[in-house]
Amino acid sequence: MIKLDWSILLGDGGERLIEGAKVTLQLAATSLVLALVLGFLFGVVRWLQIRPLEPICWLYVEFSRNAPPLVQILFWYFSATVVLPGWAIVILRDYGFQFVAASFALGVYHSGFVAEIVRGGLNAIPRGQYEAAQAIGFTIPQTVGSILMPQLLRVIMPMLTSEAVSLVKNTSLALAIGVTEITYQARYIDVYTFRGVEALLVVTAFYLVTCLAIAGCGSLLQRFLQRNRRIAA
């Protein structure tokens, strides 16, 4: 039976895991914002069926969803020096090039799923509401923001919560390019102290608590939206 030695977590090991947890939460938050912005944008555009943009949106969604997240992280990390100009590389290095690449890759990957969630949610709303708003002079942003969005959020909130949980778990893949998130720190502790079991148990508990907290917040927000719907009715 393995004898656990938790003293390793009281010194440098504990500090590393705390710092790694902060980086993980920052990475998750940055990626989630990007995924939501791109996902809502492409999801709405696909639902509107704008002919010239449909092939572009379809290609983006299929690429982002079907390329594995680890492959995308490696792709954006190693291809950036080819795609981006030199001055942009210098600026990104000042902000942490690995962190930016991982944030962008995870944001793009999950935005494809968010786009399909948004499109499916909009399909659940009678299209006549959109057409009626257009008939009385509403612009597309006004129609989406004032009429469709409140209904859409009530429909897709459970799926968005699930996607956010999945994104948090996928942040662990960023260790492949040297992002010092919590899984990277656990691996460091294992390599240099051979106490990887204790570190991984802490990491597991961190992901469990974080994902349960996100699920709980999503459930509360869903109840809030449903309650507002009943009050409005």
- Tens digits of residue pLDDT in 15-41: 999 999 999 999 999 999 999 999 999
Distance CA 110, CA 63 (A): 11
In a domain, 196, yes or no: yes
What residues contact residue 225 under an 8 Å CB cut-off, 6+ apart?
Answer: 150, 153, 154, 157
In a domain, 62, yes or no: yes
- The confidence score (pLDDT) of residue 82 equals 79
In a domain, 1, yes or no: no
In a domain, 219, yes or no: yes
> Using N-to-C axis directions, what is the helix angle for 54-66 and 12-48, rounded to 10°?
150
What residues contact residue 171 under an 8 Å CB cut-off, 6+ apart?
Answer: 24, 27, 28, 31, 102, 106, 181
Q: Which tokens in the block code for residue 176?
A: 């492949």
pLDDT beyond 90 at 91? no
Using only C-alpha atoms, the chain has a radius of gyration, in whole angstroms, of 21
In a domain, 165, yes or no: yes
Per-residue pLDDT tens over the stretch 160-201:
999 999 999 999 999 999 999 999 999 999 998 888 899 999
In a domain, 174, yes or no: yes
Distance CA 33, CA 87 (A): 25
Tokens 């572009």 appear where?
A: 56
CA angle 173, 175, 213 (to 5 degrees): 60
In a domain, 185, yes or no: yes
- Domain region containing 144: 6-232
Per-residue pLDDT tens over the stretch 37-80:
999 999 999 998 888 999 999 999 999 999 999 999 999 998 87
Domain count across the chain: 1
CATH assignment at residue 137: 1.10.3720.10
Band (pLDDT 50/70/90 cuts) for residue 1 is low
How confident is the model over 199-228, as a mean pLDDT? 92
Distance CA 173, CA 184 (A): 9
